[in-house]
Amino acid sequence: MRRSGAFKDPRIAPTKAESAPIRGAGSLVAMSDVSHSARPATLGELRDSGWESVPVKEEVRRNAAARIAAGEPIVPGVVGYEDTVLPQLENALLAGHDIIFLGERGQAKTRMIRALTTLLDEYLPIVAGSEILDDPYQPVSRHARDLVAERGDATPIAWVHRDTRFGEKLATPDTSIADLIGEVDPIKVAEGRYLSDELTLHYGLVPRTNRGIFAINELPDLAERIQVGLLNVLEERDVQIRGYKIRLPLDVMLVASANPEDYTNRGRIITPLKDRFGAQIRTHYPLDVATELAVIHQEARPLAALGLRVQVPEFMTEIIGTISHLARQSPNINQRSGVSVRLSIANYETLTANAARRALRLGEKDVVPRVSDLEALASSTAGKVEIEALEEGRDGQVVERLIKQATLTVFKAHCPMDQFRDVVGAFDEGTVVHAGDDVSSPTYVEVLSRMPVLRRPVMALAGSETPAAVASATEFVLEGLHLSKRLNKDAVAGRATYRGRQ
């Protein structure tokens, strides 16, 4: 017997039966104009095919179990949750629970919710023209019931892709019951129907996601009187619209997200609604810098189409990731607001962009970010953290301090201090090195020729003989020695001069 996932053809065109006029039908599901004769087109053909109807949570459970057994991730593209969040999510899906993700901003809550659609069967049959994706075997809307009663096995069937079976709403204070559940459609009344006619109803987002997954983002922002309207959806699995004597036994998997500050302290999710969620899953930020770097490499948009060769040294990427980790521990950053992973991604892209701008200005083809490019992070950091400075105007100082701490942390991890004795000695004897955003890459190569003692540690970091890579490693070493209190640094208007401390 073939089950609901047996038909894996690409998008198809409406069959002749689907294209036939249907009394009271809404618009047909959009299909491509490719013909697929193997797909059942009528209720009778669907029965003969052996297709079986299962509840959406059973469908998700079955596909999740197959994915787990195959060693595949439940939600692809999510990094750092393998041992924490994802096992809880797998348990919730296998248990058939409605889920609420609890976490600060930038913790992939929405991404995980949207990825759950991949656990639905690729295509699902519905009664053609149904606004709420009626099950051909158990129709619940007036249109579908009447159509099946009239045509029987000749009832036309349409097939919808799993992406169609996902609904999403950002909870806002002005969200209404009509948005979520439904309302009387005055246009249908004006067409001559009686108010008591069920066909005058305009279904809301929840009924339109029947036999699918419905998501509510930032659930605590939903007014409490509107939250009450979701109680039946989660417990009795139906909805009631105004004073109509109708009951729509919906088949919906409900998933929500919430910020823990709203959820626990403000108490804006009513207790009966919290009680109806089967699983509450706490998300988190990357637990280590290595995970942060994996997210950066996966999500950052590459700098392309400028005719430039871009190379970002690993130590520069580590500085970006370490800045975010230090910010999540800083008393000067509002931790209740959180420090999103988007900060790391935006900083990485800004760092690369500033290096590209310098290369374009200096006529260089190789783009390798340097320590001097870190000053550009002020613009990408300002809007992503809430700084709690003691005095007005100290925001820039807080960001600057984070950058210095991150640079020093990465320098100590990569560069044992005992290899720089001769380098520090050369500076103490009067050597001076100029650095900055407007200094060309070949200038740093000349520095190494004048200071042979600097060449070995620099080339060990550079990983390349290109002048741009040498320039990046040289600035990193010089800045690390300065932050380690081995060199003095005079900085003015984006330029820096490194000299000995004696």
Residue-level pLDDT, tens digit, the chain, 502 residues = 333 333 333 333 344 344 433 333 333 333 333 344 578 999 999 999 999 999 999 999 999 999 999 999 999 889 999 999 999 999 999 999 999 999 998 899 999 999 999 999 999 999 999 999 999 999 988 889 999 999 999 999 999 999 999 999 998 888 888 888 887 776 665 666 665 666 677 788 998 999 999 999 999 888 888 888 888 888 877 777 666 666 778 899 999 999 886 554 444 788 888 889 999 999 999 999 999 999 999 999 988 767 889 999 999 999 999 999 999 999 888 888 889 999 999 999 999 999 999 999 999 999 999 999 999 999 899 888 888 865 556 778 889 999 999 999 999 999 999 999 999 999 999 899 999 888 999 999 999 999 999 999 999 999 888 999 999 999 999 999 999 999 999 988 778 999 998 7
Beta bridge partner(s), residue 367:
310
pLDDT at 192: 63
pLDDT at 437: 86
Residues 6+ apart with CB under 8 A from 110: 215, 217, 257
Instruction: Please tell me whether residues 331 and 432 are part of one structural domain.
Output: yes
pLDDT at 190: 63
Instruction: Please tell me whether residues 297 and 192 are part of one structural domain.
Output: no
Instruction: Please tell me whether residues 256 and 341 are part of one structural domain.
Output: no
Residue 285: C-alpha distances to residues 129, 146, 267 (Å): 44, 52, 23
pLDDT at 362: 92
* Distance, CA of 121 to CA of 108 (rounded, Å): 23
* Domain stop point among 282, 304, 331: 282
391 lies in a domain?
yes
* Distance, CA of 97 to CA of 254 (rounded, Å): 9
Write down the pTM of the prediction: 0.82
pLDDT at 213: 97
Residue 352: which domain range?
289-500
**Contact 374/348 with Cβ under 8 angstroms?**
no
Instruction: Please tell me whether residues 242 and 372 are part of one structural domain.
Output: no
Mean pLDDT for the chain?
Answer: 85
pLDDT at 4: 38
* Domain stop point among 282, 312, 342: 282
3 lies in a domain?
no
In three-state secondary structure terms, 53 is coil
pLDDT at 245: 62
Residue 202: phi, psi to the nearest 5?
A: -110, 115
In three-state secondary structure terms, 481 is helix
Instruction: Please tell me whether residues 335 and 455 are part of one structural domain.
Output: yes
5 lies in a domain?
no
**What is the count of structural domains for the chain?**
2
